[in-house]
Amino acid sequence: MENEHTYFRQCHVCGYVTEGKEEVQRCMRCKKGFLPLKYFERLYSNIQKNSKEGTPQLKVTFNPLPGLLVFW
């Protein structure tokens, strides 16, 4: 059996919980958009990749915590 994931996201605007087999992008009730999961980890890895490729480096003054979810 294939390893299937189920994603749950709770909307910070209306409180509705959306469930999906793929990463949930929007609240199903109020249509508010969500940041991607592991947003800062992806951002940091893209910055590291670009610095290795010789692309002008973006100065980052923070080191994101692995696994930290962002709420606003």
Q: What is the pLDDT of residues 22-72, one digit of tens each?
A: 889 999 999 999 888 777 777 778 777 776 666 555 565 666 566 655 555
**Could you give the CA distance from residue 70 to residue 72 in angstroms, rounded to a whole number?**
7
pLDDT at site 3: 63
Look up residue 51 and give its DSSP letter: H
Per the CB < 8 A criterion, the answer to whether 9 and 15 are in contact is no
pLDDT at site 5: 83
Task: Flag whether pLDDT at 11 surpasses 90.
Answer: yes
Q: Are strands 17-20 and 7-10 parallel, antiparallel or unpaired?
A: antiparallel
Task: Flag whether pLDDT at 18 surpasses 90.
Answer: yes
Q: For residue 33, give the 3-state DSSP assignment.
A: strand
pLDDT at site 56: 56
pLDDT at site 40: 75
